[in-house]
Amino acid sequence: MLFWKTAHQTVTRLYHSTQRTQPRTMSRRLIVFDFDGTVTQHDTINVLAQFAISSRGPPGSPSHNEASQKWKQIVDLYVADHSAHKESYFPPAKDRQTLAQELSYLESLRTVEMASAERVVEQKFFAGLRREEWVGFGRVARFNGSLEKEEDEGKTVKMRKGFSEFVARCKEKEDTKLGVLSVNWSKAFVEGVLEVEDPRRDEEIFEKRVNELRYPGGELEGPEEMGGRVMMTVRDKLEGFETMLLQQGEKVDGQRSVYFGDSVTDLECLLRADTGIVVVNEGEEETSKLLDTLRRVGFEVPHVSEAREGMKLAWARDFEEVLGSKILG
């Protein structure tokens, strides 16, 4: 709790400003990406589930059908729990006008998230799958997503436009470090998806903070750098982001940090970073829950085309728009 209180105090000091002027003497930059819905176009939890189901046997087989039914029950119970919690929580969203109120609500969802994760483990839904298989699943999903055809039973990951080009641009700069921070359940799967940009295991491009599915039982385990505690909520992601900042030497050298995220679990990381960029799907600018939340609690979030270097918050549909803007200099 002491770590959280210290981190929370640091974040709170930053919340009251929507813009920061960075000293021109800063020589380092840490750029961290959320994975699901940010690096990828959509959430990938169902992709992980479909690969697990397909590993049980061919479509139509008893084992395949049983796994499909298990997953449906897990999803249905999660949706029901989440809806019940949302409806019973006070104050309701329309009356949560401060950041503190919103963060309290988001953290209260921990019970819902943990209950769902416990069901997955109890059902042994991901049991028996080795790390190498998850990496392979990630490669296949990325490949499927690159093809101009219908999704293969949901086992497809489509990347956010311009991501590879953005990473390539970052890799050209020696003073820029990259990271991935995600509540996704399989770090190995994420590695497989990102292998195109990060091909060498001995010299990884991305510093990663992602949960992992243990073999053989399919238990969920958090990042080693966070003591193995499973990341579930907005607070967990903030702590993961803080460990990245500390590892990169923020306290010693100073650096400009950038965070990309698409969901409310990214809220504190976006505000903790020197520059936070909200990623929104094409055509969903008016329905983005994260954009709506930020604006409801008092933050201005212009499009990156209207932003300038050093601006605190902005939003973009993809990484091509970021590359074409001046927000990162």
Chunked in runs of 10, what are the mean pLDDT values of the chain (329 residues)?
Answer: 41 42 56 98 96 95 97 98 98 98 98 97 97 97 85 85 97 92 97 93 87 97 95 97 85 74 98 97 93 97 90 96 93
- Which of 61, 212, 197 is closest to 133 using CA atoms? 212
Hey, is 208 helix, strand or coil?
A: strand
The confidence score (pLDDT) of residue 34 equals 98
Burial label for 226, CB within 10 Å (0-12, 13-18, 19+), is middle
**Cα four-point dihedral sign 224, 229, 234, 238:** negative
DSSP assignment of 242-301 equals HHHHHHTTHHHH--EEEEEE-SGGGHHHHHHSSEEEEE--TT-TTT-HHHHHHHHTT---
Beta carbons within 10 angstroms of residue 144's beta carbon: 19
Q: Which of 138, 139, 136, 156 is nearest to 147 (CA)?
A: 156
pLDDT for residue 154: 84
CB 116 within 8 A of CB 74: yes
- Under 8 Å between Cβ of 276 and 312: yes
Contact 191, 198 (CB under 8 A): yes
Which of 146, 113, 130, 163 has its CA nearest to residue 51? 130
At 248 the pLDDT is 77
